[in-house]
Amino acid sequence: MGFKDLNLRVLAVAIMMVKPSLSIPPRLMRNSTELPSKFAEFSETAEIGWGSPTANAGWRIAPALNIIVNGVRRLATIDTGSTGALMDKSFLPSFDPKKAEEGHVFYSSSKILEEGHWVPDIEIEYLGPKGVRVMSKTPVLAVERTIKCPQFNQTLHGHRCPKNATMGIIKRALQQPYFGIGFGRDRDTSSQATPDRNPMINIVSINNVTIDRAKYHPGYIITNQALIVGLTSNNTQDFVTMDLERGPNWEKDQRAWAGPKVSVALNDETYANGSQGSLLVDTGIAQMYLEAGRQFQPGDEIRFAIPDEKNPVATYTITNSGVQRNVMSPSKILNSTSLTPYVNTGRNFLNKFDVYFNPTEGQYGLRFKGTGKEDFVKFYHP
């Protein structure tokens, strides 16, 4: 064997040694050590402080931002469990419903249907500390009717609740704008929940200066103190990321990712095959919706591994019915109508984790903000 042949053989062996196992999925979890290089070229970012006392309230209430739309300052609830900015039609510039796209947003947890028309290209300003101003530009649903519609099915009903399915119009003391900034919500009942309608991934300017696409990386971070837009090496430090799968509308918009994954186990059971389902960290609700593969009972200990038990980023445990509560425990646990394992954590998850969403590469990140001494939660930092 010649010297050249020997070198080639050594090289081939080396390649075989580093070749990933075929059992590992093609989209792998990326750890935080890769983040500085990923975002090194991006520097434009802005911090929008919460307009509600979220940090001091232990996430007992939904977060909100101060906004200006149509020249008027308002407070908008921020919801990661839905997609699309909504406000009463009276808050928006006049528009002709005959020329606007008919639309809706359906909240599967409450069964509330918001009916209206999408008004295109609405510029919304978000007010941060020290005079910071951030602007998004998206369609906004001008809400004409808010109705309880438990049997709503977009395939059958279009964008309006049929008369025989309604449980009455919902009347609210204040018609506060409601902004859905979540992803992976473009399902059969919410096919209009597409990335082009997500205000926080459609930022157009910071402090009245148009963003530089070479310096601004789309995405947002949620912390106790603020919502941060624009991902950089500095603001993504200490996050561990998970790669997301493509959602049903990815071919139409390559920011349309599915939600992250989670595995569920009850009591002393192991995480059964097929127990991995979809995870939703939802700032809009205090309760949890859970499909654990079988009916859970009062007093059950429920364990979660994100994204799975074999290669977890995080694990945590709660107890059903409020026994042995911890700060990540929801106000209550309700059965999900999902046919596959599914966990909507509610917003108390954010008492121990910051989260971020990267719509360009399709990544979801967790950053632990506990002490590491908690017995109910563990973070696996590389």
User: Do 153 and 70 reside in the same domain of the chain?
Assistant: yes
Low-confidence ranges of the chain (pLDDT < 50): 1-33, 173-174
Q: Which residue(s) pair with 124 in the sheet?
A: 136
**DSSP of 23-45:** TS-SS--B-GGGHHHHTTT----
First-residue to last-residue Cα distance in the chain:
42
349: domain CATH number is: 2.40.70.10
9 within a domain of the structure (yes/no): no
Q: For residue 105, tell me if it sits in a domain.
A: yes
* Pair 65, 198 in one domain: yes
Per the domain annotation, does 284 fall within a domain?
yes
**Residue closest to 249 by CA, chosen among 325, 167, 187:** 187
Would residue 265 count as lying in a domain?
yes
Domain that residue 84 falls in: 51-218
- Give the whole-angstrom CA distance, residue 280 versus residue 260: 7
Look at residues 188, 218, 248 and tell me which one is the last residue of a structural domain. Answer: 218
Angle at the Cα of 219 from the Cα atoms of 67 and 159, rounded to 5 degrees: 65
Helix (H, G, I), strand (E, B) or coil at 82: coil
| 189 within some domain | yes
| Three-state DSSP class for residue 352 | coil
Examine the fold and report which residue of 164, 183, 218 is the final residue of a domain before the chain moves on.
Answer: 218
- CATH number of the domain residue 181 falls in: 2.40.70
Identify the domain boundary among 158, 193, 218: 218
Do 61 and 164 share a structural domain?
A: yes
164 & 296 share domain: no
Q: What is the number of domains present in the chain?
A: 2
Is there a domain that residue 246 lies in?
no
pLDDT for position 56:
66
Strands (E), 63-132: 64-69, 72-79, 83-88, 101-107, 112-127
pLDDT of residue 171: 62
Task: Please give the pLDDT value at position 381.
Answer: 83
Residue with tokens 């947003």: 105
3-state SS assignment for residue 6: helix
Name the token pair of 99.
């020329």
> What integer pLDDT is reported at residue 33 of this predicted model?
45
Whether the link from the prior residue into 307 is cis, omega within 30° of 0, is yes
Whether residues 311 and 168 share a domain: the answer is no
Based on the domain organization, do 178 and 90 belong to the same domain?
Answer: yes
Q: Is the same domain home to 205 and 277?
A: no
Same domain, 194 and 276: no
| Position 353 in a domain | yes
Clarify whether residues 205 and 143 are in a common domain.
yes
| Separation CA 3–CA 102 (nearest Å) | 72
26 lies in a domain? no
Q: How far is CA 292 from the centre of its chain?
A: 20
For residue 334, give the nearest of 323, 324, 343, 347 by alpha carbon: 343
Q: Is 166 in the same domain as 269?
A: no
